[in-house]
A = this chain, B = another copy of it.
Amino acid sequence: MEKDKKSFLFERTDKGTNTVVTVGDVPIGDGRLVLMAGPCSVESEEQIRVTAEAVCKAGANILRGGAFKPRTSPYSFAGLGEKALELLRKAADEQGMPCVTEVLDAGDVALVANYAHMLQVGARSMQNFKLLAAVGRQGLPVLLKRGMGATQDEWLLAAEHIMAAGNHEVVLCERGIRTFEPSSDVSLDLGGLVPLRRRTHLPVIVDPSHAATDPATVGLLARCAAAAGVDGLIIEVHPDPLHARSDGQRALKPEGFSTLVSQVLSVFDSAGGKFLG
């Protein structure tokens, strides 16, 4: 941790009080398990409408869907942009759910904020400090994913960039970090949740989809995270994963998501939802 400052806005000052961040009318951090779900990319009006309806019915609280996609290769599908934002918001409104989507660049913050109820800063942008400042200067809550090569210190200080700019509505999202084990390119740092929770009052959710390579692993990691008592999950769901334009291999079908929701809610209740218990 850099020595420039003695205390930070993200830091827990007393043992018991956690911050609750409200997205639309959905509180995150109040002791319940919030479920965010939807496709990796918004691909068409039909696709997002069908998915929104299905995930809402299954019990999801917030709709997710990508409009601006960060892609490792420049030749991969990079999202439909503003058109996707419109379709996402429309589908969310039809189901009465708030929606979250990623913003990639400081210059796009105002545009994305016109449509979304929560702005996601992705793993690859975790240290895009201009973007962090920009989402920090507007009023919508921010979902801050951990970078794949980032320590908890760096992640928390990225949150501090947002908070120092004026926006204290930050939700942290663990999504897996680099590992030497070749069967996966990242490993979900669930053991790290205890020291994380001790240090910060911010809500913490888990993204099992990007730490997994297939639906079975998504399910297993989602159940693990629920047992860990996290504040929420964000899960990729697609009506036709085989034909998805991005991340199809790890997307759940609506029926798989529905089954998973029952499991994770049951596990969460059984575990008592106690993060540090």
Contact = CB atoms under 8 A, between A and B. Distances in A.
14 contacts: A2-B73, A2-B76, A73-B157, A74-B165, A149-B149, A188-B190, A188-B191, A190-B224, A191-B212, A193-B220, A194-B214, A220-B276, A223-B271, A227-B227
B189 A190 contact: no
A150 interface: yes
Contact of A270 (B74, B194, B266): B266
A105 B104 contact: no
Interface stretch (A11-19, A25-33, A48-56, A126-134): A126-134
A180 B183 contact: no
A264 to B, nearest CB: 9
Interface of A: 2, 4-5, 70-76, 78, 104-107, 124-125, 127-130, 133, 147-154, 157, 160-161, 164-165, 176-185, 187-196, 211-212, 214-217, 219-221, 223-229, 260, 263, 266-267, 269-272, 275-277
Nearest to A196: B183
A192 B188 contact: no
B227 A271 contact: yes
A72 B224 contact: no
Contact of A150 (B149, B164, B177, B211): B149
A265 to B, nearest CB: 9
Copies of the polypeptide in the assembly = 4
A161 B266 contact: no
A55 to B, nearest CB: 18
A128 B129 contact: no
Contacts of A211: 191
A220 B127 contact: no
A123 B118 CA distance: 27
Nearest to A190: B224
A151 B182 contact: yes
B192 A183 contact: yes
B181 A177 contact: yes
B179 A179 contact: yes
A224 to B, nearest CB: 4
A194 B183 CA distance: 10
Given A128-B125, A149-B148, A164 B270 contact: no
Contact of A192 (B187, B196, B271): B187
A179 B148 CA distance: 12
In the A-B complex, the 10 residue pairs with the smallest Cβ-Cβ separation, listed nearest first, are A149-B149, A227-B227, A219-B277, A124-B127, A178-B180, A224-B224, A223-B227, A266-B270, A270-B270, A74-B164
